[in-house]
């Protein structure tokens, strides 16, 4: 994986933030290739966990992309308002000086920490265990995107192939 992705993953893991990696990094890890420039995660919404997460984002110099205070993530009601009023699916943090350092946080309940933890697998990178979204969940998430982009169709095809290989290896 890219150095900037490792930097973020290691900082979150070292701070004992509970999270599951999804999106491009999880798909790339499943395919055995380097991750994409940003990654998506879901974080457990217990206030202590969100507080640790926000502290890591601040320490890394990552700021909310939108003009919404990051502390709004600490309120499930504020998150529900973002979803209802703006149709928000994610809350993005970015380093405006180095935009490849980017984190998207899933907001919707169907992409919650609890939901994505089910079937997640752990990979170990430099002695750190990191939860990665399972192939089945990745496929389900990708198929739910509307409208599907060409990139999504390619990802779905690759993930289906991986899922088939995984099922064959279990036989």
In a domain, 73, yes or no: yes
Q: Which residues pair with 22 in a beta bridge?
A: 40
What is the rounded CA–CA span in Å between residue 29 and residue 163? 13
Residue range 61-86: average pLDDT? Answer: 93
Q: What is the mean pLDDT of residues 144-151?
A: 83
User: pLDDT at position 38, please?
Assistant: 47
Residue 171 domain flag: no
pLDDT at residue 24, as a whole number: 56
Encode the chain in three state secondary structure.
Answer: CCHHHHHHHHHHHHCCCCEEEEHHHHHHHHHCCCCCCCEEEEECCCHHHHHHHHHHHHHCCCEECCCCCHHHHHCHHHHHHHHHHHCCCEEEEECCCCCCCEEEEECCHHHCHHHHHCCCEEEEECCEEEEECCHHHHHHHHHCCCCCCHHHHHHHHHHHHHHHHHHHHHC
Which is higher by pLDDT, 82 or 28?
A: 82
Is 104 within the bounds of a domain?
A: yes
pLDDT band at 12 (very low <50, low <70, confident <90, very high): very high
Residue 108: give the domain boundaries.
Answer: 3-163
Q: Could you tell me which residue, 28 or 166, shows the higher pLDDT?
A: 166
Residue 169 maps to a domain: no
Tell me, what's the pLDDT at 25? Answer: 53
pLDDT at site 18 = 92
**Domain count for the chain:** 1
Helix 23-31 vs helix 150-170: crossing angle, to nearest 10: 40
In the prediction, which pLDDT does 49 show? Answer: 92
Q: What is the pLDDT of residues 17-73, one digit of tens each?
A: 999 988 655 545 444 433 444 457 677 777 799 999 999 999 999 999 999 999 999
| Residue 32's CATH number | 3.30.460.40
Check residue 35 and give its pLDDT. Answer: 41
Backbone angles phi, psi at 16, to 5 degrees: 60, 35
| Residue 125 region by backbone torsions, left for phi larger than 0, else alpha for psi between -120 and 50, else beta | beta
pLDDT level of residue 141 (50, 70, 90 thresholds): confident
In a domain, 42, yes or no: yes
Q: Which two tokens stand for residue 79?
A: 């998150």
Let me know if residue 134 belongs to a domain.
yes
How many Cβ atoms are within 10 Å of 87's Cβ, its own excluded?
7
Asked whether residue 81 is domain-assigned, the answer is: yes
pLDDT band (50, 70, 90) for residue 82: very high
**pLDDT confidence tier of residue 2, bands split at 50, 70 and 90:** low
* pLDDT the model gives residue 39: 56
Residue 169 has pLDDT above 90, yes or no: no
């Amino acid at each position: 994986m890219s150095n900037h992705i490792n930097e973020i993953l290691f900082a979150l893991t070292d701070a004992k933030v509970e999270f599951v990696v999804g999106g491009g990094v999880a798909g790339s890890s499943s395919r055995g290739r380097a991750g994409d420039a940003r990654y998506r995660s879901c974080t457990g919404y217990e206030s202590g966990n969100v507080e640790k997460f926000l502290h890591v984002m601040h320490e890394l110099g990552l700021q909310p992309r939108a003009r919404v205070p990051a502390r709004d993530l600490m309120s499930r009601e504020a998150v529900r308002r973002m979803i209802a009023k703006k149709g928000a699916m994610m809350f993005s943090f970015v380093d405006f000086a180095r935009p490849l350092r980017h984190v998207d946080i899933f907001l919707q309940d169907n992409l919650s920490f609890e939901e994505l933890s089910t079937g997640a697998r752990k990979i170990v990178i430099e002695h750190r265990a990191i939860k990665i979204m399972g192939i089945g969940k990745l496929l389900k998430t990708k198929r739910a995107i509307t409208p599907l982009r060409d990139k999504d169709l390619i990802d779905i095809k690759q993930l289906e192939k991986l899922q088939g290989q995984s099922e064959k290896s279990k036989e």
